[in-house]
Chains A and B, each alone.
Chain A
């Protein structure tokens, strides 16, 4: 069996490139003894380093605010005082710092946008302001609260923020957990009339993988979000009771 196929050697040299068209998996890497060749070992480390830096880079709220084209902003911190605590205590990342809660403006807002660093400040720096601008531009007649820039924040911090400000709907734009192929993926979570501690992830609608040009585009995300927000307001519900009917709405299981 083996000998019969030995004359196919030349074919095999083109096999892996052909197969890589079907998968991003790290296949056909070759061997250095039992181990990976140096180049592939360094490529893995390169991808991991980008992911680690995305998780640990500080949130630059001023830079995000500058990208919001004059929309008013307010800065808050969660109850997690630093990154190490944030990573180990998701409960603290879902609650507002008490002082910052007291400083939030209160009003009759239809919606508040929360830009939350989540697990990738890089994703937020690169994409969040553009998504807010594109979405806000589609919300004719909506009363939009100042954009909240939230540090050491998880998705459910938006519940606390919306309740404190009196906003009916909250849209949290959050840096998703970085993978080896993408460290800049932004998620958007929509929740109607959240109640801190009561609202669960099943009460939210989610768009994930916002990262043009490889993932969802800003206009694509804004269109889906604005449509979902309109229907959420009509039906008075988000989550499993509200489906994205605009196409391939990607409900992520990777809720933060």
Chain B
């Protein structure tokens, strides 16, 4: 193993391993401090960045951060590495790679061609040398398009996950929040419920409810009840209407084990969902959520900083060509991301790293009440991620999730973002909105509050 050094202000800083160097180069972040990995001083942080800028990208393939022998995510990353795709950038340093990513040479086609040659460690490393504006500028060049019944990630489009959660999975309560979201033009990425329990019966009831609404109103979208992957496998075998298989994933084998997940289980679920073939315009059948801090929280981070471990989760995700991936960026709490500033930075990093690795990256832009953040932070993050070209965002009624007890973006926030940036829904969903009279002459979502609309039958029946 090499050591890494740089001299700043007459003092020489030494970093014993690549993992130490990456952790020290990261921005101030409560989770890295909690893990004892953060730079000791502002100068040490910058010294680490000077040293990191000189590291050849090839070093990240030669020096795995977590041993190949003990971690199946490391094996996945190295065994599936595409050396030919990597070749055009393989001679670059991290600092040179940053400049190349920002240059005109790195256009959408080139970035797509290089993507299979990039590893999580490489993209995490370069993001540590980038400012927030860099993270936006590069991400907006990356194009990742996926499809099931709607097409996600096309230029000039922003999709939303409609999240109609209810603390007891009450069908009428879910239907009420579902109706609210649809009337506000939400739901083209997925109608996605976090169930209160993982009981197969409860999950199936919710799947049937969502599938019934999708079929009856011919909505070009997909449903997902975010249960454990084993529950989905079981329900698919029993004929339940499973569109997308969901799973929370992380960047190390041990952290995935804490979620009760192995690559083998994900392989099995992926095959089963592909066989159902329920999509109409595409065959991407998986949905993953991730989030910085999950590996540390499971004591499974192996001394690797939380952003780099997070990027490794994207290597797991890309194996399955998912329809949707989102980081739940502020959910885990202030011991990992303390305030709005740290949450914003993490959101931009996760979005770029996921996109560079070829994922249809969306975000749950959110915070808990013990983090130092508020609805202004949601607006700031949403705007920056909209400019960065996020594939989708999660939306909740009024921005308040009454089941998971946190605040996310609202359906209204998505309207705002589409309005100020001229972003439109997924094309299939947009056509459907038009067909049911929810688009005005400018193509915006018509304000139908206080008036009748055919969709309100959903509420009437289920509330009856």
Q: Is the CB of B369 within 8 A of A48?
A: yes
* Chain A residue at smallest Cβ distance from B31: A88
Which chain B residues lie closer than 8 Å to A102 at the CB level?
Answer: none
Q: Residue B223 at the A interface, CB < 8 A?
A: no
Expressed in whole angstroms, the Cα–Cα distance for A220 and B450 within the complex equals: 43
- Number of A-B residue pairs, CB cutoff 8 Å, is 156
Q: Is the CB of A180 within 8 A of B369?
A: yes
Q: Is the CB of B410 within 8 A of A36?
A: yes
Q: Residue B459 at the A interface, CB < 8 A?
A: yes
Expressed in whole angstroms, the Cα–Cα distance for A154 and B229 within the complex equals: 32
CB distance from B213 to the nearest CB of A (A): 15
Partner of B453, one of A5, A27, A177: A5
Partner of B375, one of A4, A45, A254: A45
Q: Is the CB of B375 within 8 A of A179?
A: no
Partner of B407, one of A24, A87, A180: A180
Partner of A51, one of B369, B419, B456: B369
Q: Is the CB of B370 within 8 A of A8?
A: no
Which chain A residues lie closer than 8 Å to B449 at the CB level?
Answer: 28-31
Q: Is the CB of A2 within 8 A of B436?
A: yes
Expressed in whole angstroms, the Cα–Cα distance for A177 and B367 within the complex equals: 12
Q: Is the CB of A12 within 8 A of B456?
A: yes
> Which A residues have a C-beta under 8 Å from some C-beta of B?
1-2, 4-9, 11-13, 15, 18-31, 33-36, 40, 44-45, 47-48, 51-52, 54-55, 87-91, 119, 177-181, 183, 254
CB distance from B418 to the nearest CB of A (A): 8
Q: Is the CB of A34 within 8 A of B416?
A: yes
Contact A22 to B452, CB < 8 A, known contacts A2-B436, A34-B416, A87-B338? no
> Which B residues have a C-beta under 8 Å from some C-beta of A?
30, 33-34, 164-167, 170, 172-177, 179-180, 184, 334-335, 338, 368-370, 374-375, 396-400, 402, 405, 407, 410, 412, 415-416, 418-419, 435-437, 447, 449-454, 456, 459-460, 462-463
Partner of A24, one of B335, B402, B437: B402
Q: Is the CB of A12 within 8 A of B335?
A: no
Provide a sorted-by-A list of 28 A–B residue pairs whose CB atoms are within 8 angstroms: A1-B437, A2-B453, A5-B453, A6-B452, A8-B456, A12-B450, A12-B456, A18-B459, A19-B459, A20-B176, A22-B170, A22-B176, A23-B170, A24-B167, A25-B177, A27-B176, A27-B180, A27-B397, A28-B180, A31-B184, A34-B419, A88-B334, A88-B338, A89-B34, A89-B335, A91-B34, A178-B369, A183-B369
* Chain B residue at smallest Cβ distance from A254: B405
Expressed in whole angstroms, the Cα–Cα distance for A18 and B176 within the complex equals: 10
Contact A90 to B34, CB < 8 A, known contacts A5-B453, A12-B453, A55-B370? yes
Expressed in whole angstroms, the Cα–Cα distance for A25 and B454 within the complex equals: 22
CB distance from A134 to the nearest CB of B (A): 26
CB distance from B155 to the nearest CB of A (A): 22
Most interface-central of B179, B375, B412 (chain A CB within 10 A)? B412
Expressed in whole angstroms, the Cα–Cα distance for A23 and B224 within the complex equals: 20
Q: Beyond the given A12-B451, A22-B173, please list 8 additional residue pairs across the A-B interface where CB-CB is below 8 A.
A: A2-B436, A4-B454, A5-B452, A12-B450, A15-B459, A22-B175, A36-B412, A179-B369
Expressed in whole angstroms, the Cα–Cα distance for A40 and B375 within the complex equals: 13
* Chain B residue at smallest Cβ distance from A7: B452
Expressed in whole angstroms, the Cα–Cα distance for A166 and B189 within the complex equals: 56
Which chain A residues lie closer than 8 Å to B418 at the CB level?
Answer: 34
Which chain B residues lie closer than 8 Å to A23 at the CB level?
Answer: 166, 170, 172-174, 176-177, 402
Contact A19 to B369, CB < 8 A, known contacts A8-B456, A25-B166? no
CB distance from A245 to the nearest CB of B (A): 19
Contact A88 to B34, CB < 8 A, known contacts A25-B164, A25-B397, A180-B407? yes
Partner of A25, one of B173, B184, B374: B173
